[in-house]
């Protein structure tokens, strides 16, 4: 049976499995078991933490945000000519659309996905702001305001995805006294 080797994070020495006093034989640094179980308080603190980036949910987020933005900001004025979402009005409509998209992704995605919709909106906001800036006629705004409003839309997407995740997870468990 092979001996289990524990590598010291301080000096890199390979120690034999039963460590005397949980210390490195070479340098004497304390070595804790990395795979220890989390206590109840640590589990409650980590409940709302995202642990990875899901490429699949990123792709789904791009599709959802792109379709919602195209449908409501670009397509709805084509169907209802009385609506005019050009220029600044289009950006004012895009921010709540991205918030709703963040809530939607937070509600339907398994696990914790806060970052995926935010990155997706960042990628959708750039061409949206550029298109709205280039096509503005009456409702004009300077270019830096499109950048600021896009950043605001990204922030609201983060808030929306967090709200969607909180609703999906249900109420937090009561802390044990």
pLDDT one-digit tens code per residue, 143-160 = 999 999 999 999 999 999
Does position 29 have pLDDT exceeding 60, yes or no?
yes
Q: Is the pLDDT of residue 43 over 90?
A: no
What's the rounded mean pLDDT across residues 121-133? 94
The whole-number average pLDDT for the span 102-121 is 90
The CA distance from 78 to 85, in Å, is: 10
pLDDT of residue 137: 84
Q: How many CA atoms lie within 13 A of 2 on its CB side?
A: 3
The token pair at 56 is 């699949």
pLDDT of 42 higher than 70: no
pLDDT of residue 8 exceeding 80, the answer is no
For the chain, the structural domain boundaries read: 5-36, 55-169
Contact partners, residue 139, CB within 8 Å, separation at least 6:
84, 86, 87, 88, 89
Q: Is pLDDT above 60 for 80? A: yes
Torsion of CA 87, 91, 97, 99, to 10 degrees: 180
- For residue 177 the two structure tokens come to 């006294």
Mean pLDDT of 164-169: 87
Local confidence band at 37 (pLDDT 50, 70, 90 cut-offs): low
> How far from 47 is each of 70, 91, 170, CA to CA, in Å?
34, 34, 11
Nearest partner of 118 among 90, 145, 156, judged by Cα: 156
């Amino acid at each position: 049976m092979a001996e289990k080797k524990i590598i010291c994070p301080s000096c890199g020495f390979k120690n034999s499995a039963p460590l005397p006093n949980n210390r490195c034989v070479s340098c004497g640094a304390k070595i804790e078991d990395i795979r220890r179980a989390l206590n109840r308080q640590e589990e409650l603190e980590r409940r709302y933490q995202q642990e990875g980036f899901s490429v699949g949910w990123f792709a789904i987020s791009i599709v959802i945000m792109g379709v919602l933005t195209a449908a409501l900001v670009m397509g709805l004025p084509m169907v209802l000519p009385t609506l005019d979402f050009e220029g600044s009005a289009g950006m004012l409509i895009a921010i709540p659309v991205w918030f709703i998209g963040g809530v939607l992704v937070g509600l339907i995605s398994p696990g914790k996905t806060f970052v995926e919709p935010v990155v997706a909106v960042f990628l959708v906001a750039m061409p949206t702001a550029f298109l709205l800036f280039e096509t503005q006629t009456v409702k004009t705004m300077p270019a830096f305001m499109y950048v600021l409003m896009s950043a605001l839309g990204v922030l609201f997407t983060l808030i929306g995805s967090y709200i969607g995740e909180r609703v999906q997870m249900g109420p937090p468990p009561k802390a044990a006294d």
